[in-house]
Structure 1
Amino acid sequence: MKDSERRHAARFYTVVLFIICIIVSIIPAAAQNTVIHGTIRDAKTKETLPYVTVAVVGSTQGVRTDNNGKYTLNITGTFTQIQVSYVGYAPVTKNILPGREQTIDITLRTDTRVLQEIVVKGGKKKKYTNKNNPAVELIRKVIAHKAQNRMESYDYVQYRQYEKMFFSLSNLSEKFKNKRIFKNYQFLFQEQDSTAIGGKNLLPMYMEEKLSDNYYRKDPHAQKQVIVAQKQVKYDENFIDNDGLSTYFNRMYQDIDIYDNNISMLSNQILSPIADAAPTFYKFFITDTIRDQQPQLVELSFTPRNTTDQLFEGSIYITLDGNYAVENAVLSVNKNINLNFVRNMQATLSFGKSADSRYHLSASDLKIDFGINKNKGGGIFGERTVTFSDFKINQAQPKTTYEGPSVVTVPNADEKSEAYWQSNRLDTLTAAQRDIYKNIDSLQTIPAFRRTMDIITLAVAGYKNLGPFEVGPVNTFYSFNPVEGFRLRLGGRTTTDLSKRYYFETYGAYGFKDEKFKYFLSGTYSINNKSIYKFPQHYIRASFQHDTKIPGQELQFVQEDNFLLSFKRGDNDMWLYNDIFRLDYVHEFPSHFSYRLGFKKWNQNAAGGLYFINNIKGESNTVNTIRTTELSAELRYAPHEKFYQGKLYRTPIPDKYPIFTLRYTQGLNDFLGGDYGYGNLTANVSKRFYLSQFGYTDITVEGNRIFGQVPFPLLDIHRANQSYAFQFQSYNLMNFLEFVSDQYGSINIDHSFNGFIFNKIPLLKRLKWREVVNFKGLWGNLRDENNPAYHPDLLAFPVNEDGTPVTYTLNGRPYMEGSIGISNIFKLLRVDLVKRFSYLDNPDVSKLGVRFYVKFDF
């Protein structure tokens, strides 16, 4: 560059810099930006006050304090005063200096003038009634105005949402805090007021944050969340499914919409205090009238009529401006509630006024303290706060905004810098929350912590981690059965420490009675270069298995050679030796639609008391092996499905959404040794129905049809259960191999009353037991072409040693069984008394039985 060009460039940049300086100096003078920080406390207790309104006098500008009583207010204009108001406190007005950044801390005093006169009278307590009760009349007006106060009353809504979820070990003793392993890690602990939920000492363990833009359209209905930033504490994936952990916590701590009839919480649904049926189950009392605030508010307190029912107690503040809207709400639960492990719970909801003078949710805070012992000992404290901003109504966005999945995460949402979070958080972090991400990283380097996690993983999942390889599951190392006798098994699989793309699994087993080795080997290739434990999965897998199997035993969430399943009722000596080669392709999508394509080469050999015999030209003939070659396809759609990915299974987190499955298998005759050509079509739908105070019902409906002629091992051998464990997808009083069909329909109904009946019985309500009922019905048929009675060349149905048939068809009438039971015994155990209603004359059947099931539930 020439000297003259350098001089011209220098002059140019000088002029630009000068103009920028002028603009920067002019803008503050013109806009008069004022920034105010501060904390608001109770004047008497000095505790911080969350969700206090801080408004600019003479304008529509304002904010609310966060969960820690802090606020930051950016003011545009030359305003000189702010006013602070909060339900139950006298409003405070403060002068401010326009155009400057300043800190203004404020204390609020209880306003005794707003309290109504309280008259205490002796004598007989008046019986509560809904009739001529002004509190009930008011709540009925709130119920009548629900539709107009909901977001769904607008054509379009959009807002920004910030979520923060925080979990700690709670109520820790000083002895625990001062343990030797924490000597150099005292920085991990958080101290708070000993009267606060969670107790004095907390040990933060988990945190996640999420920032999203949300859009709603009434017609056609659409609701979409676009996650623009997210952050999460990460644990070693060999121990914990981080995504599943987040999913589980979010299912427990769902958004609270007080205008819904039922509020989802802790995998339950609790009747809202402003539900249509609320006056039937709640008692309401007018406890305060706030006249010095516009609009005027009425504090309406409520409590369950039966304190053990799954209901809230607390207070709501209702506006008297004709909207009868909720301006504030505090929800908690009674200490006697039939809710497991919950020591304390409090949800605080705050509502802000929209441009049309109606109210929308502006902040929510849900705190829950869990513990095995409700009165003492350590536990877990969890808190989820949600803050809303930029609430806009009836401003349509382009159609593409509302299209696609209901939840979308923008690329690199989890890679936002700390500077980004500091600028975009709608709430502030405490010191413990601010440091938790790095503190957990430090915690995971402590050998004692890693040893503890290793022990927990071994106890819960059954695997011992050895780095790139893990051994297990331990509950299958030893079992026994009539065919193999004493069985030993040892196996394991690779971990993500070896590779995220390649995954191998194997085991070897030996039966001391049949003196045979069994084995399994599989290899998986992850096409999307993600762990196969990560959703959505996309992989191809090849496997070969040589092992035993009980015909008709299809277990869910448990290994077939689990030691506890070795104990069975009745005769159980008809088994199979299977040789199975499989090639599977699985592709899941973020929408929770998935498909699976499979190839299967399957050889079945009779074992134990089972045999394969047919009759050809009047002569009995023994068949050694049933050979099949199959192609299969499965479609599955589970909208909004939630689950925790464990070491062995995906454990579903129940919700109200249905799950649809369609499966077709085609047997290939004369292809790679296959001897049979047939088709097998199965359709299955399952769904949970929440019935508010009456509990919930799980219903599964299934139908099947086999096309073509096949021997009985290829028919539908209906799922039986001869163990003493209660199995939801099996028939608990049906014997193995008892029924076969080539077409059937079934229904499975399981209902939990959540203690609705027992809570009304004085001697039982203290036990917190819950009543359950179950019914299973199976309607089936076997066409003549598949019945060996009409086609002797087909394999004969098995008979026992006495020549008595053990396998039957369902022609003419259904198989039915039902049970009544008690769940939540010791908060873990369910016991059912099961009764069989049909086919009672079949040999060796159990007409009545007791079955057990271990279930962790809230």
Structure 2
Amino acid sequence: MKIIYSFFIAMVLVTTNFCAYAQRTVVTGTVRDAVTKETLPYVSVFFKGTTIGTQTDLNGNFTLSSTEAHAALSFNYVGYIPVSKNILPNTELKVDVAMVPDSRALDEVVILGGKKPKYRNKDNPAVELIRQVIAHRDENRISTFNTASFRQYDKMLFSMSNVSEKFKNRRIFRNYQFLFQQQDSTLIGGKNLLPIYIQEKLTDKYFASDPTRNKSVIIGEKQVNFDQQLIDNNGMKVYFERMYQDIDIYKNNISVISNEFLSPIANAAPTFYKFFITDTIKTGNHEVIELSFTPRNTTDMLFEGKLFVSNDGHYAVTGVSMGVNKNINLNFVRALKIDLDFKPALSGRYSLSQSRLIADFGLGKTKGMGFTGERSSTYKNYQYDVKLADSIFQGKSVVSVPGSSTRDDRYWEMNRLDPLSKEQEKIYHNIDTLQKIPSFQRTIKIATLLFAGYGNLGPYEIGPVNTFYSFNNVEGFRLRFGGRTTPELSKRLYFENYAAYGFKDEQWKFFLSGTYSLNNKSIYQFPQNYVRASFQRDTKIPGQELQFVQEDNFLLSFKRGVNDMLLYNDFYRLDYVHEYENHFSYALGFKKWSQTPSGGLSYQANGAGFINRLTTSELSLALRYAPNEKFIQGKIYRTPIPDRYPIFNLRYTAGIKGLVGGEFNYHNLTGTIDKRFYLSQLGYSDVTFEGSYIAGRIPFPLLAIHRANQTYAYQLNSYNLMNFLEFVSDHYVSINIDHNFNGFFFNKLPLIKKLKLREVVSFKALYGGLRDENNPQTGGGIYQFPQFDNGLQRTYSLSNDPYIEGSVGIGNIFKLLRVDLVKRFTYLDHPEVSKWGIRARVKFDF
């Protein structure tokens, strides 16, 4: 009897389960734009007449199921005509839908009485919801787990966009029409694309929270490789990765295109954004709330779009679709679109499964040829709270496994987490073909000459072009010609040289250096390890120190005030530089320096006659630590990318009397700390602290000659209203603050905000002095301070008051010019000083 009863119960359960399965309705499919055929993310899909629904993912795919019988589906998306599709109930089927953009114009506008209610945060359910998301932000981040690991696949595509038919049909492309593709994005106008770059990367990532550690292991990497004579592939890769960083919606600030945007779920988000609840979607047993947001001021560095939030008490973000307003104070960006898709993990938490960032750049708003970049990432194989060996985190935070950059096509076919389309697969071959076109090679060489200042001749480059002609009061009209070798000549041995001639002083100047790489890498690539020997005979203005600009740049020939002090120098140098993967480096150096004053500068010993030549010999040790530093890497140059991480420098120099003609003993210890502080919507500040102490009794040319500027160019690291050789010290401290508000105030002003200007302010203070033994004004010193022809003092030591100057300026004029009004606050009684000045600087920003 018990057996029959048990059999009866089992049959009932089987039958019930079978009936439930038989009544299950499962629909899968893809939603596309009917015109462009592009897939549409975050389309709302419902069983018609119910609240049972879902959304398409970043690729436009959806899956919707129910245990009830349903006869129709409804599809809704902002800007598109709603679609209804009949289906067979109690079946599993695939439904693909093409949605038509809604371009209908309004025939009639009806204005109703009454004021539109003012938006308020108080008693606003959307704001209450976003505050819950913010309150639960930390618990939904990956850092809440003890450990985590996952695999990430990144794909970057870059193309010339909005290519006109006229450009496409030019003679040089007549036989290369296969290079062009049809436009497949609704974000960007035009029909044609010319793909120029593709990059893929497969990475295993690991995280541990106690202590906090991160490790990225690159297991596969592939990219278009241009001819190294034309374009630096590593430099292009680093630059694009800097522009298109990982998007973490849970951070207060999100870095996109070298700018910091306030996240819509940042602590301060309710102050800068407006929020609206626009839909509620039931997906299985879960309910998702659609939360739309828009910036209160459309010109600020803010996003607009939609958040999708789980309504299960955890308030996790399940999806994001956002861009920027067309009025935003962002240069050259015609369109920007970010989509993030999160999937629930076994733990119940949501993990990022896909992300996509598309940006289109151009000089015009919408018309004209531009440049489009797209980065898409796919994340899989999440594992949480699994024991990770300590050995995983040893060494550098980012490493590549051997052979990662030489994976074959079969490997990529098997391991890509997101397959390439047929058009994308062709890019590798097409670019190889493109760079073989002679006219393309000529165009790249011309662009390199214009923007980098060097003309490529294969193993040798001539330049920089802007130094070929300059002038000053001592040399008169000056011509210069030179260049440097490239890795095409040798990857280990590099030469640089120039020759110059002054038509007024009728003297030749020249420079020659030879550098040998000790790690078989370019001396311009990180990490550096080289030894260099050089000799230079040239002129120099005491106290003029420039960054990334040659002193004989033509534009720096124009100077204010009296500018007749010059040194003729002979430099003999031997340097060794060694960088490590952790961004610590040291440099050992020897320098013999012979200097001869000229023009209005003379060296006169106390109680003796004039000194024609001063010779010193120095040994030096420089230490530098720049954690997480990245570079814009060129073939034969590199430029550090400013970031939030500090940079520490410490330099010790010893002058040795009797060493190959050295005349003085002294010790110089100098340290600097540089750091950029991001202040969210208030912009960012670049801050530099500097201090130095010189021990020994030495003449004033060997003291710290403070960086002055008598040109009309604004120089960030110099005192722009200080005259050359106006101040010297043997001990000092200084602070330099340069703050960019990114248009925070101008964006609030009617009419002005249309110009997309940006406010900048700076403050510079220098405090120091001279010990009596080095101060001619107190009876010490070895040389007298220089004087003007009328006998007035020209050089001073800092007294009890610091030297202070500040400026207010307007940046982003014509998208590349910064103009500052500079004021000097102290030491105004010195002769030939300017209390006020206007300085300009060319600065390219997005």
TM-score for both structures, normalised by structure 1: 0.88
Question: One-letter code of the match for 1:779?
Answer: Y
Rounded to whole Å, the distance in 2 between the matches of 1:287 and 1:513 is 76
Aligned length: 789
Instruction: Tell me the amino acid that sits aligned with residue 40 of structure 1.
Output: T
State the 1:215 CA deviation: 0.7
Report what 1:480 is aligned to. 471
Instruction: Encode CA deviations 1:632-667: one digit per residue, 9 max, x unaligned.
Output: 111111111122134775323221111111111111
Structure 1 counterpart of 2:243, one-letter code: M
1:763 is aligned, of 751, 766, 785, to: 751
Deviations 1:286-333 (A, max 9, x none): 111113543111110000111111110000111111111111110110
Partner in structure 1 of residue 653 of structure 2? 665
SS of 1:302 mapped into structure 2: strand
Structure 1: 5+ residue runs without aligned partners? 1-37, 55-62, 73-83, 98-102, 111-119
Conservation of the 8 A alpha-carbon contact between 1:66 and 1:428: no
Within 2, Cα distance between the matches of 1:641 and 1:94? 59
Deviations 1:93-119 (A, max 9, x none): 99999xxxxx96744889xxxxxxxxx
| Per-residue Cα deviation, 1:144-200 (whole angstroms, up to 9, x for no partner) | 111111111111111000111111111111111111111111111111347343642
Query: Relative to 1, partners in 2 of residues 1:51 and 1:585: Cα closer, same or farther, differing over 3 Å?
Result: farther
* Match 2:509 to one of 515, 518, 524: 518
Q: Secondary structure at the match of 2:234?
A: helix
- Equivalent positions of 1:110-259 (< 5 A) are 123-193=114-184, 195-197=186-188, 199-259=190-250
Equivalent residues in 2 for 1:429-440, closer than 5 Å: 429-440=420-431
1:336 and 2:310 are equivalent in the alignment: no
* Residue matched to 1:722: 710
Once the 2 structures are TM-superposed, how far is the Cα of residue 452 of structure 1 from its aligned partner?
0.5
Partner of 2:651, secondary structure, is strand
Aligned to 2:788: 800
Does the 8 Å contact 1:461/1:648 carry over to 2?
Answer: no
**Aligned equivalent of 1:451:** 442
Letter aligned with residue 715 of structure 2: Q
Task: Tell whether 2:264 aligns with 1:273.
Answer: yes
Aligned pairs for 1:591-610 (under 5 A) are 591-610=582-601
Verify the 8 A CA contact 1:90 1:108 in the aligned structure 2: no
CA offset digits 1:792-843 (Å, max 9, x no partner): 5601111111111110001211000000000001111000000000000000
Residue 744 in structure 1 maps to residue 720 in structure 2: no
| Alpha-carbon distance between aligned partners in 2 of 1:585 and 1:845, rounded to the nearest angstrom | 41
Match of 1:308 among 281, 299, 305: 299
Q: Does 1:549 align with 2:540?
A: yes
Letter of the aligned partner of 2:726 in structure 1? Answer: E
Match of 2:581 in 1: 590
Residue 759 of structure 1 deviates from its aligned partner by 0.8
Mapped to 1, the partners of 2:491 and 2:754 lie a distance apart of: 50
Cα distance change of structure 1 residues 93 and 721 upon mapping to structure 2, 3 Å threshold: farther
Q: Measured at CA, do residues 841 and 536 of structure 1 come closer, stay the same or move farther in structure 2, by a change above 3 Å?
A: same
Whether the 8 Å contact between 1:194 and 1:200 is mirrored in structure 2 is no
SS of 1:778's equivalent in the other structure is strand
Corresponding residue number in structure 1 for 2:843: 855
Query: 1:52-111 deviations in whole A, cap 9, x for unaligned?
Result: 999xxxxxxxx9998655799xxxxxxxxxxx99997999999999xxxxx96744889x
Distance 1:734 1:831, change over 3 A: same
Contact 1:223 / 1:406 at 8 angstroms: preserved in 2?
yes
Residues 292, 220 of structure 1: alpha-carbon distance in 2 compared, 3 angstrom cutoff: closer
> 2:551 — aligned with what?
560
User: Given the alignment, which residue of 701, 710, 724 partners 1:713?
Assistant: 701
| Whole-Å separation in 2 of the counterparts to 1:737 and 1:642 | 35
Q: What CA distance in whole angstroms lies between the structure 1 residues aligned with 2:308 and 2:60?
A: 20
| Corresponding residue SS for 1:852 | strand
Which residue matches 1:41? 31
Distance 1:713 1:93, change over 3 A: farther
Q: Where does residue 355 of structure 1 map in the other structure?
A: 346
Name the residue aligned to 1:373. Answer: 364
Q: Distance in 2 between matches of 1:521 and 1:376?
A: 49
Residue 317 of structure 2 aligns with an amino acid whose one-letter code is: V
- RMSD of Structure 2 on Structure 1 (CA): 2.8
2:48 equivalent in structure 1: none
Q: 1:68 to 1:318 in 2, by over 3 A?
A: closer
Match of 1:298 among 284, 289, 300: 289
Cα distance between partner residues in 2 of 1:270 and 1:489:
45
For residue 775 of structure 1, the aligned residue among 763, 767, 786 is: 763
Counterpart code for 2:304: E
The counterpart of 1:704, out of the listed 692, 698, 703, is: 692
Name the aligned partner's letter for residue 31 of structure 2: R
- C-alpha distance in structure 1 between counterparts of 2:633 and 2:785, whole Å: 40
Distance 1:542 1:70, change over 3 A: farther
Task: String of CA shifts for 1:695-745, please: whole Å, max 9, x gaps.
Answer: 111101111111111111110000000000000000000000000001110
Q: Distance in 2 between matches of 1:128 and 1:683?
A: 52
1: CA distance between counterparts of 2:33 and 2:536? 72
User: Which letter does structure 2 place at the counterpart of 1:299?
Assistant: E
**Cα pair 2:324 2:335 within 8 Å, conserved:** yes
Asked if the contact 2:773–2:780 (Cα under 8 Å) also holds between the matched residues in 1, the reply is: no
Deviates more, 1:782-791 or 1:477-486: 782-791
Bigger mean CA offset, 236-245 vs 814-823: 236-245
CA–CA separation in structure 2 for the residues paired with 1:420 and 1:66: 27
Quickly say closer, same or farther: Cα 1:93–1:285, change in 2 above 3 A.
farther
Q: Which amino acid aligns with 1:176?
A: F
Deviation of 1:410 (Å): 1.8
Distance in 1 of aligned mates of 2:722 and 2:740 = 23
2:802 aligned residue = 814
Task: Give yes or no for contact 1:614–1:792 (8 Å, CA) kept in 2.
Answer: no
CA separation of 1:580/1:39 partners in 2, compared to 1, >3 Å: closer, same or farther?
Answer: farther
Which secondary structure does the structure 2 equivalent of 1:585 belong to? strand
Change in Cα spacing, 1:510 to 1:498, as seen in structure 2 (3 Å) is same
**Residues 241 and 644 of structure 1 are in contact (CA less than 8 Å); yes or no, is this contact kept in structure 2?**
no
The percentage of aligned residue pairs carrying the same residue is 62
SS at match of 1:475: helix
Matched residue of 1:766: which SS? helix
Q: Is the 8 A contact 1:546 1:579 kept in 2?
A: yes
Q: Secondary structure at the match of 2:413?
A: helix
Aligned to 2:396: 405
SS of 2:447's equivalent? helix
SS in 2 for 1:546: strand
CA contact (8 A) 1:614 1:623 kept: yes
Q: Distance in 2 between matches of 1:277 and 1:93?
A: 49
Residue aligning to 2:665:
677
SS of residue in 1 equivalent to 2:799: coil
Q: 1:535 to 1:157 in 2, by over 3 A?
A: same
2:433 corresponds to which of 438, 442, 445? 442
Determine helix, strand or coil for the equivalent of 1:291.
strand
Give the direction of change, closer, same or farther, for the CA distance of 1:93–1:731 in structure 2 (3 Å limit). farther
Structure 1 residue matching 2:470: 3-state secondary structure: strand
| Deviation (angstroms), 1:237 | 2.9
